[in-house]
Structure 1
Amino acid sequence: MSNDARFEDGAEKPLNLGALDAEDLTVISALAQDAVFPATEMLWRPNDRRFALLLNRFRWEDDGRDQHGAERVQAVLVVENVTAVASQGIDPKDGDTILSLLSVTFEPGPEEPGGYVLLTLAGDGGIRLAVEALELRLRDVTRPYRAPSGHVPGHEG
């Protein structure tokens, strides 16, 4: 039986953050960096104007890593006010391919407050969400668990 980490360890709390501007989004992007997910865990509901991803997020904010090792947690990234979705370099029906999120950014459009939420993926993939206004949430939905690799993600160069 594995000994998964618990929220009670170190009195850590799950994340529940929102972003309404590009500055807020930089915090969420940093916390979601290196999250992994299968392409089948993306959902766009055009009638609700909502796009969501179920991520396995690395816990960058974890201060107890020296005691219990590297951890991940499942989190939901939800983007509201979405009017169109485009992707490059991914097959949304391929459940065997694991995607890795590098960053979440906002690019203003011709009519404020609208623009594009850009989800940059490793391997030159990406998702572009046209939005009427920036409104995004990142919320942890499970308890932390030991990262399968046992390591902190690294970036060369």
Structure 2
Amino acid sequence: MTPLKLLALDDEDLKIISAHLQDAVLRVDDMAYLPAQKRFAAVLNRFDWEQALGEGTRPDHHRRRRAALRFDRVFNAQIKGVDPEEKGHVLSLLAIRFEPGDSPSGIIELTFSGDVTIRLDAECIEAELKDLGPVWQTKNKPEHPDAESGAGA
């Protein structure tokens, strides 16, 4: 399967990136806010939902991929629910949402399990998700009993 490379310039684009990153895992030290570059970046292990929901996929044959997520034009980043010094703490991403402010600015919110949230004060939506190459098999598929499609939105 071709590695993903997605750009988000509006809320609809961001929802697509969010769907691909649902259940991605990372450690606290796998992300950084770079104020001089106005950038927030993270390296994650994402569950390959596209492959998992494809026809002919065995129920015990799934994949995870290493991926990079980048947000540009970020003025400020705040983390709530975990101490940033707990560098080895593992986070599981649930969703990415945009709360509009004075157009085109707003807050990009990354919501993780365990009531952890990262809020990015952004000039606008300018994001990129890019697979980095490594792919590995997993028998475990994240479960969402309340979700209709299994991949969320």
Deviations 1:11-63 (A, max 9, x none): x1000001100011111100000000000111111010000011000000113
Which residue is equivalent to 2:95? 103
CA distance in 2, matches of 1:138, 1:52: 10
Offset, 1:143: 2.7
Query: Aligned runs of 1:97-136 on 2, under 5 Å?
Result: 97-109=89-101, 111-136=102-127
Kindly provide the amino acid, as one letter, of the partner of residue 94 in structure 1: E
Consecutive aligned runs of 4 or more in structure 1 exceeding 6 Å deviation: none
Long gaps (5+) in structure 2: 147-153
- Is residue 2:105 matched to residue 1:137? no
CA distance in 1, matches of 2:30, 2:68: 10
2:107 aligned counterpart, secondary structure: strand
TM-score normalized with structure 2 length: 0.88
| Root mean square deviation of aligned Cα | 1.5
Please point out which of 21, 29, 35 is paired with 1:46.
35
CA distance in 2, matches of 1:96, 1:136: 25
Which residue is equivalent to 2:150? none
Identity within the alignment, %: 41
Please point out which of 37, 42, 45 is paired with 2:26.
37
Kindly provide the amino acid, as one letter, of the partner of residue 96 in structure 1: G
CA distance in 2, matches of 1:53, 1:118: 14
Aligned length: 143
Which residue is equivalent to 1:13? 2
Q: Which has the higher strand share?
A: 2
- Is residue 2:25 matched to residue 1:22? no
Offset, 1:155: 1.7
Which residue is equivalent to 1:61? 50
Offset, 1:142: 1.9
Please point out which of 65, 84, 88 is paired with 1:92.
84
Offset, 1:90: 1.4
Offset, 1:95: 2.7
Contact 1:42 1:92 in 2 (8 A): no
CA distance in 2, matches of 1:140, 1:153: 19
CA distance in 2, matches of 1:141, 1:19: 18
